[in-house]
């Protein structure tokens, strides 16, 4: 086995604690060495061997580090990722990876010039609910697809306590850039680049300065229409995945449990990790040749963000193709910035 990838985090906030450190610290393919903590040094309480640097420059000057995870505020992603690439590091960037498609191209150009790789952290490809929807679609049980609806709804009427997330003066902000990348990436993963699209964004919460509702309509060959919707004033969410085809329909609530489990301290190796509770299966309705409807409840596939990190490892060590490609990132950015 090749040596583990020595990795550093640019921050240890919610994402570092939940979405990165548990995987890097338990996967022998990685060695979690360092973090940037400018003021409070919190990470050592859970990871005693961690090296805590006071600045990004100190982190990037660590010659042992091969991979840097850019998990800082949205508007810093492009500059920090470019800085890390020029320092000779591979980068894994949280969404959105940049502010526009031109910046995405620049990141990949800088990576190629420095013989390094750029990875987008699109963990929702490995959610249990999305994996189940993908399996049903790819099985052909719905026949030719006609309409797809993906939603990512929350009920958060209060403004975010982090002021920079709620001001129009901060670039790359609002629901389009917070939840939009998840929905758009899932659509691109399943259906590719749309033939055309239109986009509606609006502000619904009192005193909000940034968009908190979005709806995309994507059109694809064969008449397929894909709707992507997200709002922050949805008290009673409907199924997050609704797929209609010539032979039937499938609906599934957004029920992936990984974030909640990780937040409570469960590690990815736990037998219960990523498994949805019984009774929350997706509903498949198919129509037979005689016109009779059949109903089946489909258990979800186990969700596991570990697969994203496996993909990063094999891309770095074995030059394997990372599943979120430069094209995918460019297409996503074109939809986000439109």
* pLDDT tens by residue, 204-245: 999 999 999 999 999 999 999 999 999 999 999 999 999 999
Q: What does the pLDDT average to over 282-297?
A: 95
- For residue 2, what pLDDT is reported? 84
- For residue 162, what pLDDT is reported? 87
Name the percent of the chain lying above pLDDT 70.
100
Is the pLDDT assigned to residue 294 strictly greater than 90?
A: yes
Q: Which pLDDT tens digit goes with each residue over 119-174?
A: 999 999 999 999 999 999 999 999 999 999 999 999 999 999 988 888 888 889 99
- For residue 163, what pLDDT is reported? 85
Is the pLDDT assigned to residue 1 strictly greater than 80?
A: no
Q: Quote the CATH superfamily of domain 5-122+307-321.
A: NAD(P)-binding Rossmann-like Domain (3.40.50.720)
What 3 state SS string does the chain have?
CCCCEEEEECCCCHHHHHHHHHHHHHCCCEEEEEEECCCCCCHHHCCCCCEEECCHHHHHCCCCCCEEEECCCHHHHHHHHHHHHHCCCEEEEECCCCCCHHHHHHHHHHHHHCCCCEEEECHHHHCHHHHHHHHHHHHCCCCCEEEEEEECCCECCCCCCCHHHHCCCCCCCCHHHHCHHHHHHHHHHHHCCCCEEEEEEECCCCCCCCCCEEEEEEECHHHCEEEEEEECECCCCCCCEEEEECCEEEEECCCCCHHHHHHCCCCCCCCCCCCCCCCCCEEEEEECCCCCEEEEEECCCCCCCHHHHHHHHHHHHHCCCCCCCHHHHHHHHHHHHC
Q: What does the pLDDT average to over 274-288?
A: 95
Name the percent of the chain lying above pLDDT 90.
94
Say which CATH topology domain 124-304 has: Dihydrodipicolinate Reductase; domain 2 (3.30.360)
Domain boundaries, the chain: 5-122+307-321, 124-304
pTM to 2 decimals? Answer: 0.96
């Amino acid at each position: 086995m090749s040596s583990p990838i020595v990795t550093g985090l640019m921050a240890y906030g919610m994402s570092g604690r939940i979405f990165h450190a548990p995987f890097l610290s338990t996967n022998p393919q990685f060695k979690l060495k360092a973090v940037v903590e400018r003021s409070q040094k919190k990470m050592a309480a859970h990871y005693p061997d961690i090296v805590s640097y006071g600045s990004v420059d100190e982190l990037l000057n660590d010659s042992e580090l091969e991979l840097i995870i850019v998990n800082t505020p949205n508007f810093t992603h492009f500059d920090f990722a470019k800085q890390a690439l020029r320092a000779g590091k591979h980068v894994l960037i949280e969404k959105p990876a940049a502010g526009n498609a031109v910046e995405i191209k620049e990141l990949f150009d800088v990576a190629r010039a420095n013989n390094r790789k750029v990875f987008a952290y699109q963990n929702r490809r490995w959610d249990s609910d999305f994996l189940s929807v993908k399996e049903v679609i790819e099985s052909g049980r719905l026949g030719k697809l006609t309409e797809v609806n993906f939603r990512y709804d929350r009920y958060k009427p209060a403004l975010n306590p982090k002021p920079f997330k709620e001001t129009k003066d901060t670039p790359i902000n609002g629901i389009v850039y917070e939840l939009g990348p998840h929905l758009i990436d899932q659509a691109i993963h399943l259906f590719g680049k749309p033939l055309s699209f239109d986009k509606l964004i609006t502000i619904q919460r009192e005193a909000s300065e940034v968009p908190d509702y979005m709806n995309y309509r994507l059109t694809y060959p064969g008449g397929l229409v894909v709707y992507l919707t997200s709002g922050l004033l949805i008290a009673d969410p409907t199924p997050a995945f609704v797929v209609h085809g010539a032979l039937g329909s499938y609906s599934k609530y957004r029920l992936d449990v990984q974030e909640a489990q990780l937040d409570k301290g469960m590690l990815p190796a736990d037998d219960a990790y990523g498994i949805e509770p019984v009774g929350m299966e997706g509903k498949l309705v198919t129509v037979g040749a005689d016109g009779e409807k059949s109903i089946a409840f489909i258990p979800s596939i186990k969700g596991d963000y570990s697969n994203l990190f496996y993909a990063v490892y094999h891309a770095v060590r074995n030059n394997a193709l990372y599943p979120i490609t430069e094209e995918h990132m460019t297409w996503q950015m074109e939809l986000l910035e439109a």
